[in-house]
Amino acid sequence: MKKYSREIFFIALALLVLAVLERQGFFDFISGFLHHLQILFLTIIISGIAFLYAIRREISILSHQHKTTNEKIRKPVAMFMVSRLQSLQQVRTALTSSKGLDLDLEELNKFVDACFSANKGKSYVGTDSNVPSRFYELYPTYLGEQFSSSQTRKPGHDVRILLTSEDDLRADHQRDGVSFAHFYEGHIFNDVRLLQVEKSVAEKLAKNHRLPSTDLGVFGGKFVVFFSPHEVNGATVNYEIHIEPLQAERRAQLQLYLHMLNESAKLIRLESGVVSCIERPREDKLGDQRRLLWDLTSSPWMRRRLSS
């Protein structure tokens, strides 16, 4: 008995502690804690599944690479690919920074497709500093992506403002009437308002409202893309692209920019082979303002005002 006195003492002490804890409701606390712990673990598991589902395409690509690579070279190839994946962080950082990311034409076309696909048929508002023929040269797939996207929603939401002079539009029509007519008729057929504003007006407004470029695309009120094409060595064109979510400050800046552009804008018209930029009646100007600002306006009061 004396030999096991130490063990007996600790057993007795443990029983005493358990009796006190039971009287104090400790076991109920433990039971409740374990219940909440189960909920926490279940929440973590569901969140993890949701995250994996969100990146299922990326996982599928990596899984395909793993399966199709011979197992004898799978490890060195995987280690090399990790470095490539890590470099994507630099791409994302540049694309979402104020400096922007330089893309070539092939990359730009893929980016345009990604933007309109992600927009899921919501409205689009764009400004561009190029006449139609030059627009096609710089952005050969852009209108196709926009117009195919517009087929999935009710017409009467999109706007494009060309930041160029009436004389330049007329000269472009004389130089390449086929491209101009195709550009114009595509907007008419898809019920996209086509307006004109002098470039100098847009440059002043963009500077006043701290926008990185006069040329931009607002996708469904969710995100905005700024475009700055520039020539390299006098021939190749690179595209400086900057994308950002529409936060309150940028939303307000764009509202003012587009509102002021609308105040100066004229309607582009092509009739009987003649290009003209005409003043709009007040009701048309108000209708264009609704198109331009609707998805940038989250306030119900402002939306009622735009609708009145």
pLDDT for 117: 92
Query: What is the amino acid identity at position 65?
Result: Q
Domain boundaries, the chain: 2-54, 56-87, 102-307
pLDDT for 227: 95
Buried b (16+ CB within 10 A) or exposed e, 81-100: eeeeeeeeeeeeeebeeeeb
* CATH superfamily, with its number, for domain 102-307: Endonuclease Chain A (3.30.870.10)
Residue range 87-139, pLDDT digits in tens = 778 888 889 888 889 999 999 999 999 999 999 889 999 999 999 999 999 99
pLDDT for 300: 47
Low-confidence ranges of the chain (pLDDT < 50): 300-301
Residue 263, token pair as written in the block: 């105040």
Sheet-wide strand order for 159-163: 101-103, 236-245, 223-232, 216-219, 124-128, 159-163, 193-197, 266-271, 274-278
Residue range 214-250, pLDDT digits in tens = 999 999 989 999 999 988 776 778 899 999 999 999 9
Q: Per the confidence metrics, is the pTM higher than 0.85?
A: no
